[in-house]
Homo-oligomer: A and B are copies of this chain.
């Protein structure tokens, strides 16, 4: 089971060069010889030592996937979709989790990557100029997903347009106080998604003429707990919102929990839109913006594999920037704004203090009239177009009415 190439060669009565050529399907070996060698290799359970063949050939046969989070849905979904592509291409997948600044410095010191991998897939990781410089100096293909980097191939969505879909949907429903639960937009190490989604949200509100209110923005850190906290803050303020757009489904679901505890009904009292189309969003009937995460993962992996096999051929170094379409999926958490609800409807929470505890005597649920509308309304973004133009998406209700929003 632990045979070496020399043993195979001896057993087959050929040179090790011939064994190597036969096993790797090279030209220049007679079919008969090749076949015999393969049979013997199989019989001996031989397989080439990766380190030896890497050292001799100079090819690492490995790609690095670098992610800042492993536990969050977006990231594991990308990994799940990318992995089979690499496997198919015969590439080993070396996983790097860069969390803190410390590990970042370490991984981007070239040492860790150079001589070790022949390609890098960077997932939603924004980098400093110095880090980008390091990646360039690696001299190997680097592809990114979730964030576009100057000079590298990437697969992304248009976060501005995607966020506009969500915000516009709420504005179209008559909401005048639309809140944002943002990811961490302060941290410069975070990637462009939170920045762009916020920009999209703001642009819609500005166009709607409702003006921007800093009191309508809160931070949720892209986690359910963060979303729950953020919703708590929003409804503790002087003028609470009537609708919430959360930059991720996980935050939106956290917000739903808080709303229930506050005794606010969804969507009667408050509408909520998420972002991602997390599997649980469908289960919870959460209206959301689907960004086809699996697609992104698969595409970027294919992009990297292509860069690897293309070698230094024509266009290999070209920084192809693919932008995938997104769409709004209207489910049960959004509804027309109440005629003139005002803060009165929020009596239970409008006392100026966060009220995360339960509100006895109130209920949370989906109103009879709004539940039936499900999963039927989608609005594709321009896709592969990066302009933040006003979205006039085609929305089809279950009854078949086409609506311009």
Also in contact, A110 and B227, with CB within 8 A (given A137-B1, A365-B365, A366-B358): no
Determine how close the nearest CB of chain B comes to the CB of A21; give it in whole angstroms.
19
Please tell me if the beta carbons of B365 and A360 are within 8 angstroms of each other in the complex.
no
Instruction: Identify which of B83, B95, B282, B366 contacts A260 (C-beta below 8 A).
Output: B366
The contact string, 1 if C-beta is below 8 Å from chain B, for chain A 194-231, is 00000000000000000000000000000111011000
Instruction: Identify which of B45, B250, B361 contacts A280 (C-beta below 8 A).
Output: B250
Determine how close the nearest CB of chain B comes to the CB of A91; give it in whole angstroms.
11
A residues 42-101 with Cβ under 8 Å of B? 45, 47, 49-52, 54-55, 60, 65, 69-71, 73, 75-77, 79-80, 83-84, 87, 92-97, 99
Determine how close the nearest CB of chain B comes to the CB of A25; give it in whole angstroms.
16
Q: Is A372 an interface residue (CB 8 A)?
A: yes
Please tell me if the beta carbons of B60 and A71 are within 8 angstroms of each other in the complex.
no
Instruction: Identify which of B69, B96, B280, B365 contacts A224 (C-beta below 8 A).
Output: B280
Q: Is A240 an interface residue (CB 8 A)?
A: no
Instruction: Identify which of B114, B358, B372 contacts A47 (C-beta below 8 A).
Output: B114
- Of the listed stretches A251-259, A344-352, A380-388, A389-397, chain B binds A251-259
A residues 250-293 with Cβ under 8 Å of B? 250, 253-254, 256-257, 260-261, 279-280, 282-285
A254 contacts which chain B residues (CB < 8 A)?
A: 280, 283
Instruction: Identify which of B55, B283, B365 contacts A51 (C-beta below 8 A).
Output: B55
Determine how close the nearest CB of chain B comes to the CB of A82; give it in whole angstroms.
9
Please tell me if the beta carbons of B115 and A97 are within 8 angstroms of each other in the complex.
no
Q: Is A376 an interface residue (CB 8 A)?
A: no
Residue of B nearest to A83 (CB): B97
Q: Is A371 an interface residue (CB 8 A)?
A: yes
Instruction: Identify which of B84, B227, B362, B365 contacts A97 (C-beta below 8 A).
Output: B84
A73 contacts which chain B residues (CB < 8 A)?
A: 71
Q: Is A315 an interface residue (CB 8 A)?
A: no
A residues within 8 Å of B by Cβ? 1-2, 45, 47, 49-52, 54-55, 60, 65, 69-71, 73, 75-77, 79-80, 83-84, 87, 92-97, 99, 103, 110-111, 114-116, 137, 223-225, 227-228, 250, 253-254, 256-257, 260-261, 279-280, 282-285, 357-358, 360-366, 368-369, 371-372, 374
Supplied contacts A260-B285, A360-B368, 10 more A-B pairs, CB within 8 Å = A1-B110, A65-B95, A70-B83, A71-B73, A80-B97, A95-B95, A257-B284, A280-B280, A363-B366, A364-B364
**What would 6 A/B residue contacts be, using CB atoms closer than 8 Å?**
A45-B110, A71-B77, A76-B76, A95-B95, A257-B282, A280-B280
